[in-house]
Structure 1
Amino acid sequence: MNIFKDILCVVDIREDCAAALERAVTLAENNQASLTVLDVVDRITAGIGMPDGGPISADLQSAIVAADMQALEELVDPYRKRVSIKVAVRKGTRFMETIRQVLTNGHDLVIKVTEKLDWFDRLFGCDDMNLLRECPCPVWVVKPQIKKSYRVILAAVDTDDGYPRAELSSRDAVNREILEIACSLALSDFAELHVVHAWQAIGESAMRGALMHTPEIKIINYVEQVRRQREIKLNRVVHEVTSQLGKGAAEYLNPQIHLIKGGARKEIPELAEQLKADVIVMGTVARTGVPGFIMGNTAETILNQINCSVLAIKPSEFKTPVTLED
C-alpha cells in the first residue's frame, strides 16, 4: 500500500537530523515516492548601516543560502544511492516556509525531527506544534533517536457519532486515512498495530446524581448501549481498511483493538506509554469548517503528554491560515 508520493523532509543542518532523514529515505524507497530535503535559514533584515535590500544584506543573504545548500548536498549525498533526492533552501520562519513549500510543490507528507528542548518537559517545541496545527498535509514528527524500524504503532480514531451530520463524513474519512497509514507503516516495519478509541457515555454522571434519581439498571443499560455502538463502528472501520490489504496482509497485521472507557486526553497517552508505542497516528483538527479551529484541545493535550513520534492527519478540506505572501 503506497500511501505517500511526494515527501518533504525538513532538516536543520546545525542539529542532528539523521533520524528524520533516514525515515524519509526509507519511506521514499518503500512508497516509490519523490523526496525533497529542505532547510530554512533566517532572513537577513536591516541592521545598523545595512539597509533592507541593499547590496551588503543581499550579498550576505546569498552567501548564507549558498553555504546552506552546499551543506545540504553533503548531508544527502550518502543517501543518493538509495533514492533520488532534491534539496531546497528557503528564507524566513521555519514552520511558515515549510508550509509554503508544501503549498507551492504539493508535497503529501512533511517529516522532521523534534526540536531540541533541553529546558522543557515535553517532546514537541513551538515549531513542531505550529506545523502540527497549520500544515495542510500530514506531518510526521520523529524523535531524534534513530530506529531502523518501529516495534509498536498506535492508531487513534474517533468513532463518536455525536457530531453535526456534515462533520461525520469528514471524520470517517480521517479515521480511514489514519488506519490506512498505520497499516502501511506496520506492514513495512513488521510492527504490531494497535487501534484505540476512548469513549464516554455523555450524561452518565448526571444520571447518577441526586437530581435525576435514575435507576441503576437503566444507567447500566444506557452505558452498555453506547459502548456497543462504538465497538460496532470501530470494528467496522478497521475491517473496511484491513480487508483492502488482502487476506494474507490482514491476517498478518491482526490489529489489536482497544476500546477504552474514559477521556481521550488521559487514556490515549497512558495507553501509548503502556504499549511503549514508537509512533501515534492520529487526527488533530477538532471541527471542520469552523474558522479558528486549527487544532482540537484534545489533540493538543495528548501531544503535550506523549513521549513518542507522532504522525498527524487533517481532513482533506482543511485550509491552512498560512499564505504564500509574507
Structure 2
Amino acid sequence: MNLFSNILYLSEAGADQASSLERAVTMAENSLAKLTVIDVVPVLSAGIGLPAGGPISEKLQTHMVSDRRQELEALVEPYRERLDIQIDVLVGTRFIQAIRAVLRNHYDLLIKPVENPDFIQRLFGSDDMQLLRNCPCPLWLVREAEKTNYENILAAVDFDLDNLDTEDQGLNRQILDLSSSLALSDFAALHLAHVWEAPGELSIRLWSDDPETASVAYLNDVRSRHEAALEAFRKQFKERIGEETYDYLAPSFHLYQGAAATVIPELAEKIDADLVVMGTVARTGIAGLLIGNTAEAILEQLQCSVLAIKPSGFVSPVTLPKE
C-alpha cells in the first residue's frame, strides 16, 4: 500500500540522523514517494550593531543559508543512488516554516529526529511539541539509533461510545492503516490499545444508598460497552485488511481502565514498543486518549518513536503568508 506520495524530512542539527533519514528514504522508496529534506535557519539578528536587512546582515544570512545547504548535501549524499532527494533551506521560526512548507507543497508526511535525545525523562522539545499540536499532516518523530526494522508497534485508538460513526472512527482507521502497513513491512508485532475511564464512579459512590454495589454495577456496564466497541472495531479491522492479512498480523488487543496518560506509556514500556501510533487532537466531551493535554502528557513520557496523526479536516492555526 502506497501510504504517502510526498514526504518532507526536517533536519535536526546536532542529532545523530542516521536512523531517521534511513527511515525517511526507505518509506519514500516503499511508497514510491517524493522526498524533500529541509532545514530552517533563524533570521539573523542585527544585535551586533548592524542594521536589520542591511547589506552586511543580508550577506551573513546568505552565508548561513549556503553553509546549511552544504550540510544538507553531505547528509543526503549517501542516499543519492537510491533516491532523487530535493533539499531546501528556509529562514524563520523553525516549526512555523516547516508547517508552511507542508501547506505550500502539500506534503502528506513529515519525518523528523526528536529534539534533546539525551534528556531521558522529557523526550520531546518545544519545536516537536509545536509540530505535534499544529502540523496538519502525520508527524513521525524518530528517536536516535532506533532499529532498522521495528519489532513492536503500538496503535492507540479511542471511541465515542455515544456516537461510534463519527470522525473519530475515521481517525482510528488512519491509525490502523498506518500501523498495520508498517507492521507488515517491518515484520513487526502489532498491538492495539484502548484505554477507558469511568468518570461517573465518584458521583455514584457519593449519592447511592449502597455505594459499593452501585459502583461495581456502573463499572461493569461501562467496561462492557467499551469491550463491545473494541470487538466491533476488531471485526471492522479484519474486514478492512482481509482475513488472510489479519491472520498473518495476528494483532494483540489491549483494553485497560485508567488514565491514558499513565497507561499508554506503561504499556509501551511493557511490550518494548519501538513505535506508538496515535492521534493528537483535542475533542469535546469525550474522556479518552485524544484530549490535547492527555496526548501531550503521553508523548512526553514515551521513550520510543511516535507517529502522530490529525483527523481529516484539521486546520492548522499556522497559515501561509498573504501574497
After TM superposition, is the score higher than 0.5? yes
8 Å contact kept, 2:117–2:143 = no
Q: CA, structure 1 residues 58+295, in 2 after alignment: closer, same or farther (shift >3 Å)?
A: farther
Q: CA, structure 1 residues 2+214, in 2 after alignment: closer, same or farther (shift >3 Å)?
A: farther
**Residue deviations 1:238-270, cap 9 Å, x none?**
332343323322111111000111121111111
1:202 aligns with 2:202: no
Q: Which stretch of the first structure deviates more once superposed, 221-230 or 193-202?
A: 221-230
8 Å contact kept, 1:2–1:184 = no
1:72 CA displacement? 1.0
8 Å contact kept, 2:6–2:34 = yes
1:223 aligns with 2:219: yes
Pick from 244, 251, 254 the counterpart of residue 255 of structure 1: 251
Runs of 4+ displaced beyond 6 Å = none
Pick from 173, 190, 193 the counterpart of residue 193 of structure 1: 190
1:296 aligns with 2:296: no
- The match for 1:111 is 111
| Structure 1 unmatched ranges of 5 or more | 289-293
8 Å contact kept, 1:9–1:24 = yes
1:67 aligns with 2:67: yes
Q: Which stretch of the first structure deviates more once superposed, 219-228 or 90-99?
A: 219-228
1:149 CA displacement? 0.6
% identical equivalent positions: 50
- The match for 1:179 is 176
1:144 CA displacement? 0.9
Q: CA, structure 1 residues 258+109, in 2 after alignment: closer, same or farther (shift >3 Å)?
A: same
Question: What does 1:1-326 align with in structure 2 at a 5 Å threshold?
Answer: 1-116=1-116, 118=118, 121-162=121-162, 169-209=166-206, 211-214=207-210, 216-287=212-283, 296-325=292-321
1:15 CA displacement? 3.1
8 Å contact kept, 2:112–2:142 = yes
Q: CA, structure 1 residues 232+84, in 2 after alignment: closer, same or farther (shift >3 Å)?
A: farther
Could you tell me how far apart the structure 1 residues matched to 2:12 and 2:215 are?
55
| Structure 2 unmatched ranges of 5 or more | 285-289
CA RMSD of aligned residues (A): 2.2
Partner of 2:29: helix, strand, or coil?
helix
Count of aligned pairs:
318
1:223 CA displacement? 2.3
1:115 CA displacement? 0.8
Partner of 1:78: helix, strand, or coil?
helix
8 Å contact kept, 1:179–1:238 = no
Could you tell me how far apart the structure 2 residues matched to 1:260 and 1:110 are?
31
1:13 CA displacement? 4.2
Query: What amino acid maps onto 1:91 in structure 2?
Result: V
1:177 CA displacement? 0.7
Query: What amino acid maps onto 2:175 in structure 1?
Result: I
TM-score (norm 2): 0.91
8 Å contact kept, 1:281–1:311 = yes
Partner of 1:323: helix, strand, or coil?
coil
1:4 CA displacement? 1.6
1:198 CA displacement? 0.7
Could you tell me how far apart the structure 2 residues matched to 1:64 and 1:145 are?
28
Partner of 1:304: helix, strand, or coil?
helix
